Amino acid sequence: MLPWAAWPLAMMASLPNWFDGRNWFGYFTNSKITAADYFARQSNLEKPKSAMKQWGGTVGGPIVRNKAHFFFSLERITESPNRSFNYASRPDLNFSTVENREAWNEMVRVDHQINANNTWAIRYLGESSPQIPIIAPRTTQGTTRGPAGTASFTDETDLDQTIVGTHTTVLGNARVNTLGASATLEHWYHGSTCWRGQGGEKVADQSKCPPTLYQLSFFTQQSPEAAGPTDRNYQLQDVYSWFTRGNHEFKVGTTYHYTILRRNVQTHMNGGFFFNTDQPFDPANPRAYPERFTLRVGGPFDLNMHSHTIEAFGQDKWRISPRATVSLGVRYDLEVTPADENGNPLFNSPSNYPVDKNNLSPRLGFTYGLDSAGKSVMRGGYGLFYGRTLLGTVESFFAVQSLAGRSKCYSHRTVSTPDHRGEQFPTDPALVNGPVINRSYIDALYPPGTLLRNTGEVTVDSPDRKQPYTHQILSATSVSWLRRCPSPPTTSG
């Protein structure tokens, strides 16, 4: 990083004793300064009223002079990009419109020095981003998302929040303890306008929405999407540092994470019919009938997963001589992710989920000055580093099981019917009604509580699952060519 690139960081690291709210900005544009897009011109469609607005700023200053300070940042974004769709086989469905995207981004920081030995700080970072509607083109089952009418559009809201608090205590002249706590939340809520309009995830039911009609070039009537993942992480950390006179700097610490993943997926619970034409359904025309039908049966995929992670480390930075320094350390990682292995033939008991307990990783590093001025330094090190088990990977063990239908764990199932060709009407009970779901027939095939065999891809957990790890070796020599670097500005009050 160049010296002047660090100046904004230095300014934030040393909050002033005066109020400063001068850093505000704004950017605005609308459709008056943009041209109609190519597809809108080709079909003689109305020019979409696209727009973009972005504004925000920062303010900060003392709460109590020389003791407590605050900093606040706000950014607001609203944009409406144009979207135009043309369908050569169905020009009556051509349309142009705009998406609506919004975001509120805010950051709050408070620092307080209680006395000479105790300080605390708190940080909050958040983003709220509704996108209503979403109509970006996309390929699904060989068809293109589209046509006119908001029923086939989707909505999305994304909420991200992080809060971090720290308390630092100086224990004498050579010891420092820092205690920290944090929480992170991410909630992504995406689905059809029908599902999203039913009053929230806890009461919304995608099966109450009309089925999706997959034509050759587009799909219409309803989007099949309906999902509401929620991720939470809570963390506690304590780090103790002890600086001995002359040669050693000791540091020990521990961290505990508690992570929660919730998945509620109702995609395709409304069903979908696949057609070999772009023309509207005509009950008197056998070629207008659907050829295939798909439906999620057994209920939604509903998963609640939690994980415990414990980390502990100790290290010593030992200055052997004015030129030589050696760093020795060790770290231990433990992850416990309870999982129900019921139905997995590799486990003797559903509660015998794998836990990797031997993740002990040594660390070694050194530096050596090649000259008395300290301009040339040789450094090196070795470390064993353990990665994290991605909970998204563990989630797949339950999303695509060999058998599904148990409470709180369902898999996507497809009801496929033989293609009918020529001039004959379909005879399969799932298709004889045209684009209308034969619920009584489907319920008879898959009564509640039935275990459903997965005839497609299956993912299973393994008793030998371990945390990923890597060995890293570092060797380098650095030479300083600059005699003096410019110093960043400092503030005082």
pLDDT digits (tens, 9 = 90+) for 420-471: 555 788 888 889 999 999 988 888 888 877 777 766 677 788 888 888 899 9
Percent of the chain past pLDDT 70, that is, above it, reads: 84
More confident call, 408 vs 256: 256
The residue type of 326 is: V
φ, ψ of residue 283 in degrees (nearest 5): -60, -15
pTM: 0.80
pLDDT at 201: 76
What is d(CA 401, CA 452) in angstroms, rounded to the nearest whole number?
Answer: 10
CA 449 to chain centre: 33
Task: Enter the tokens of residue 342.
Answer: 């019921």
More confident call, 189 vs 14: 189
3-state secondary structure of 14: coil
**What is the mean pLDDT of the segment spanning 377-384?**
93
**In this structure, is the dihedral angle defined by the CA atoms of residues 90, 92, 93 and 97, taken in order, positive or negative?**
positive
pLDDT at 147: 45
Reported in sequence order, the residue ranges of 116-247 that DSSP labels E, i.e. its strands, are 118-134, 139-140, 143-144, 154-171, 175-192, 212-214, 219-220, 226-227, 230-243
The residue type of 453 is: R
Task: Enter the tokens of residue 137.
Answer: 């083109």
With 70 as the cut, is the pLDDT of residue 142 above it?
A: no
Closest by CA position to 290, among listed 301, 276, 303: 276
Closest by CA position to 329, among listed 249, 237, 389, 245: 249
The pLDDT mean for the chain works out to: 82
More confident call, 145 vs 121: 121
pLDDT at 461: 83
pLDDT in tens, 41-81: 888 888 888 899 999 999 998 999 889 999 999 999 999 98
3-state secondary structure of 9: helix
pLDDT at 482: 56
With 90 as the cut, is the pLDDT of residue 258 above it?
A: yes
Lowest mean pLDDT segment, chosen from 126-130, 143-147, 308-312: 143-147
Residue for token digits 């020009």? 91
3-state secondary structure of 195: helix
Domain 3-479 has what CATH class? mainly beta
With 70 as the cut, is the pLDDT of residue 487 above it?
A: no
Closest by CA position to 281, among listed 144, 425, 417, 414: 425
pLDDT at 408: 30
φ, ψ of residue 39 in degrees (nearest 5): -70, -35
More confident call, 422 vs 300: 300
